[in-house]
Each structure stands twice: as C-alpha cells, then as structure tokens.
Structure 1
C-alpha cells in the first residue's frame, strides 16, 4: 500500500510522514513536492525546514509541481488501495501575487484529482483552510455559507469543489476535507512561533483587544485526526473544522504559553490609535517580527470556527491545549518554541 503526500516537505506533511512511519512502517510513503526535504524555501524569508537537526524525512521524495499534470517514475506502482493526502498549496497571506494562489491551489486540485482518477485511487484527504469562511467575528460552522474575501480563500473554496466533484464521480470514493484553525507545533514557522518570541523578547502587545478568538489545533493532533478519518470513514464526502472546542481567545493562548514555558513577562494592550500608525512605520522599515498593518488587522479579527463536529466524531484527543504546548516545548528541549 502507498501513501502519497503532495506538499509532503512542509510542516504538516513532515508530521504526517512521521506518524505514518510510526503506525504503518510496512507501507510506502511518497512525498510529491517541488522542495526537497531539509532545504530552504526560497519564497519564504527566514524559512526553517520542519526537520530537526540530523533528521531525515521518512518518505521517498518525488519532485513534483502540481501546477502541471502529475507523472510518476516507472518504479512507483499506485493501486486502488492507496491514499492521497493533498497538502500542496500557496498559503501565506499576504505574501504572494494573486494569480499564484489560483495557479497552485486550483490547478493543483485538478491535477491531483486527475492523478487519483487515472490510478483508481479511492481515498483522499484535502487540507483546506478557514479562509473560505471570510473574515468576520461570527462563529463559523461547517454548514456556514462560505464568503471568501481573499484570493487565497477563493482558491481554497474552488479547490474544495474540485475535490467534491472527484468524489461523486466514482463508486465508493472517500473524501475528507479539513479546515484547520491556526496549526502549531515543531517546525511551524508561523503565528504561534512569532507570538512566543514576541512575548519572550518583550515585543508583543495585545493589538487593540484581548478577546480576539483564535481557533487552533496542534499539528500532531491534526495529522492523527486525518489518519483516523481515513480509517473510519467508508465512503462519501465529509467536512470538518479542526480546532479545540471551544476556541480560545488570544489572552488564553498567551497566558497558557507563558505558563508552560515559564515566561514571566506581562503583556500590555496597545489601543488602535497607537498601534496602526506604529505598524505602518515598522512595516516601512522591513516588517521585523512580521509586523505590518495587514498582519495587525489580521490579528484583530477573530478566527471563530466551531470544532463541535470534530469533538463529537468519536476521535479521541491525545492532548489538551496546555499539554500540546508542553509537548511542543519538550520537542525543543524546553529551550523555546520554534
């Protein structure tokens, strides 16, 4: 049996590969990506690979650009029993020209579904995003009408529809679509990492409010859930928001992070009339710590998705939020979070 992971060099793909090596060592894991494991990502400043020092990714690397039709080496033999995990995406926002989101996320979905069709593969997991919901304070359920307002969100919603069309096009096809909140853990290179080092360096303050909801999920929990659905879902299409239930406020996240890592710093709140002009100045200086007006506005908008469906799915969570932060801290030898 084969597992194909598109975008398998990335953060989530690395953790899924580790899980598959642990739970299914008899299977072949193929990483279809344009970036070879352990190498920098040229499009992301200060990018750090999701591998630990000296670690090698336990999968077979196949250079693959999902913007083009997928061709495998003759030595790889897909079967109808295989599973595809589609993680390939352009996702940092802001950060790319608009066309790049559509080119990779939509064309990629088309080519990956065509690949599954060609080899009769019946099981697929697609990692979407909460971006299709659009930016709004109201709580979002899986049944909420998507109203994306960014090229990234639009491209992800279209990609979902492409995968759904693939699923209904054949008998017994199984599709799980996940819309994760902020995903954190070893190798994240993202929001939680910046938050920790901002607190630790005395450079983080609550931007205008403390009650912003930031739905989130631990990366190890996310990949365990995805594999669980592959193994406990017979056929049809299903959609899950992936986050802790209830979702946490930024204040709760900050205080938990401080408690777990032993940080003693107090975190002030800066009103909008101060922080937005300051962010504009800092952004003009090159945006150290990722600070710019667009990111500040993003911080102020709740990512308020409901994880009740996941909580009631039968999946047994392995970590509470605080335990997940502790596990991540342990992965860093209790020296920090990265």
Structure 2
C-alpha cells in the first residue's frame, strides 16, 4: 500500500531535509532534467554520480559505476538523499548478465554504501515493465509478471531497496517510481523514432491503431522525483503516467496537426505482416551482430495496449506540463525548430 500525507505537510521546507542530493545516473536524459530543476534551490548541494560525464553539468559530476563498491564509497555523500536513475534498460543489451550486474548488483552496492553513509532517503526509478504485458488500467497493486530481463531485474532491485528501508522503517524513506515510456526534447528513444517516422511522411500504421498507450513527459517525471523528496519515512510506490492516454491513431493525428498536416493515416499494415518483418530483422541481427530499429519485440510493443493507472494524485502532485502541450513542445523542438548543436540522449 502507498502511504501519503496531506499536501499542507508536503509544503514544509523541503530542502531542509535534503542538503546533499546525489543523483546516480544523473548524466542521462531524466537526470539532466532533474538537475536543471534542483540547481534552482540554493539549499541543495547537488552531485551527479555517473560512469560517464554530464554533457550539461560537467562541474557537478563525480565519476562512478554502480558496479563498484569502492567508487560508490568515494562518491556518495554522508547523509545524502540518493536518487538512483542508473540502469541497463535497452532491449538489445549484450551480454544479458549486464541487467543483473547493473540493476540488481548496483542496488545491493548502493544500499551497502547507504548504510555506511547514514543515508535516510532513496528514490529509485523502476519501470512499469515489472508488470509485463499488463491488463489495461494496471495500478500499483498489479500482478508482477515481467516478460524480459529488464523488468525482472528492476523488480528484484525494488526488493533490495525495500529490505534496506525495512532495516530502519521509522527513519528511512524509500520512493519507488515506475514510469511508463518517457519522452521529451533531446531524447532519441522509441517515442522519438515514432515521431520521426510520422514527421517524415513515410509512416504507416501497423494494426488497427486503436490500442492505447500510456506515456510520461520527462519534465513531469523530473518534477515528481523532486516532489517526492519531501515524503516521510515509509515505502511509497507509484506508477508514473501522464493522462489522458493516446490511442496510436490519436497520437499520429495529433502529431500531424502540430506539423500543419491533415490528421488522416494513409497507410496501414496488418499486424501479422508487421510481425513477420520484425522477425526477419531479428534473424539478420542474429547473423550479423548489428542492431536495428525494427524487431519483433518492438512490433509487439507497438501494437499492444500499454495503459496504466496511478495513485499519484493522492499525494497532491500536479504535473507542470499537460500531456498535449508536452507532445506539441517535443514535436516543435525536434522537427520544426532548429537545435542542431544541442546534446541528445539515446534511450529506449
């Protein structure tokens, strides 16, 4: 069960409780947005801990890999709030052992060092992939049934963090955030690839397009991470979704309208044909060792319903950017405006 407190309590001087904030994996897409929010508060001392430098905040980075206890021991600050964004998450990670080494082993290492450094708050970004191919409307109480190593190892990591919190339940705060697919400006993941196809004019729909998709805008995810830093001791688990959900048909129509075009979809391909094409790419990838944007699992994801519910509204949190505005901002930034020299982030 989620626990929460009245909004008036949450408004109590948040940063008195978070002088040091260590963002593990903070050089990435979500982390960079989060840092942009946090640096506006004079009472927060921000540190990025990542195995790669930050493109935007190089002066805040301490290099460290979650697989290394020694590097974490050197990097993590005493009495800090830890935000763990580090993960292996792509569909095509090789070797598969990296999922366990980073997601599970990393969680163990973070908890060990958190014990040493008197850390009382950990915020962990998990994923709705822990539910697998979930029924429409799955909320935080949904059945855990991951279909891939990413979802499996993320859920195993959740249990490790819960065990850490249970060692001092009256003093420690654990926030587990399970976002659906996250999109936004400068991201080069699956949503961007879809938007690029639509913008190119060469897009064709696979299947009937009536399947619904829950998505999350990166600025809203970062805002909720910041907001959750004020939660009191306990375990707080939330799916993160921006509502209302799009159908694939409505998403394509919206993007076309933002681009000043008709919203109609001209080309459609039956699901069975699309899946066959995806399996063909799988075979070529196996034979050549190359990675392709098309695969059978991505075709299945594209055509499946992926609709979740969340109890976040019970916390009093209000996303700063409405979903349709977030989509419009992203499309304009990527395909109408000029941002050729801006940094980009490659994710799923």
TM range (shorter): 0.7 to 0.9
Question: Match for residue 27 of structure 1?
Answer: 44
Question: Match for residue 327 of structure 2?
Answer: 325
**What secondary structure sits across from 1:198 in the alignment?**
helix
Tell me by how many angstroms 1:14 deviates. 0.8
Listed one character per residue, the Cα deviations across residues 98-135 of structure 1 (whole Å, up to 9, x for unaligned) are 21111110000011111211111111110000111012
Matched-pair contact (CA < 8 Å) for 1:141–1:241: yes
**What secondary structure sits across from 2:242 in the alignment?**
coil
Question: Match for residue 78 of structure 2?
Answer: 79
**What secondary structure sits across from 2:307 in the alignment?**
coil
Matched-pair contact (CA < 8 Å) for 1:3–1:84: yes
| Aligned-partner Cα distance in 2 for 1:288–1:265 | 32
| Aligned-partner Cα distance in 1 for 2:313–2:252 | 23
| Aligned-partner Cα distance in 2 for 1:227–1:92 | 25
Change (3 A) 1:138 1:27: closer
* Aligned-residue CA RMSD (Å): 2.5
Change (3 A) 1:70 1:5: farther
Tell me by how many angstroms 1:311 deviates. 2.8
Aligned length: 316
| Aligned-partner Cα distance in 2 for 1:271–1:249 | 17
Tell me by how many angstroms 1:77 deviates. 7.9
1:94-105 paired onto structure 2 within 5 Å: 94-105=92-103
Give unpaired runs (5+ residues) of structure 1: 39-55
Change (3 A) 1:199 1:77: closer
| Aligned-partner Cα distance in 1 for 2:202–2:71 | 47
1:37 to 32, 49, 54: 54
* 1:197 and 2:199 aligned: no
**What secondary structure sits across from 1:247 in the alignment?**
strand
1:157 to 155, 165, 179: 155
**What secondary structure sits across from 2:69 in the alignment?**
coil
**What secondary structure sits across from 1:32 in the alignment?**
strand
| Aligned-partner Cα distance in 1 for 2:84–2:99 | 15
**What secondary structure sits across from 2:137 in the alignment?**
coil
1:216-227 paired onto structure 2 within 5 Å: 216-227=215-226
Tell me by how many angstroms 1:285 deviates. 6.2
Greater RCO (Cα-Cα under 8 Å, separation 6 or more)? 2
Listed one character per residue, the Cα deviations across residues 178-214 of structure 1 (whole Å, up to 9, x for unaligned) are 1101111122211211011111223322211312221
Deviates more, 1:26-35 or 1:181-190: 26-35
* 1:310 and 2:321 aligned: no
| Aligned-partner Cα distance in 1 for 2:333–2:272 | 39
Q: TM-score, normalization: structure 2?
A: 0.83
Change (3 A) 1:209 1:299: same
Question: Match for residue 300 of structure 1?
Answer: 303
* 1:207 and 2:206 aligned: yes
Question: Match for residue 129 of structure 1?
Answer: 127
Deviates more, 1:270-279 or 1:112-121: 270-279
**What secondary structure sits across from 1:238 in the alignment?**
strand
| Aligned-partner Cα distance in 1 for 2:338–2:191 | 12
Listed one character per residue, the Cα deviations across residues 126-158 of structure 1 (whole Å, up to 9, x for unaligned) are 000011101244331101120112111110000
**What secondary structure sits across from 2:187 in the alignment?**
coil
Matched-pair contact (CA < 8 Å) for 1:185–1:218: yes
1:180-259 paired onto structure 2 within 5 Å: 180-231=179-230, 233-259=231-257
Give unpaired runs (5+ residues) of structure 2: 1-18
Q: TM-score, normalization: structure 1?
A: 0.85
| Aligned-partner Cα distance in 1 for 2:261–2:94 | 34
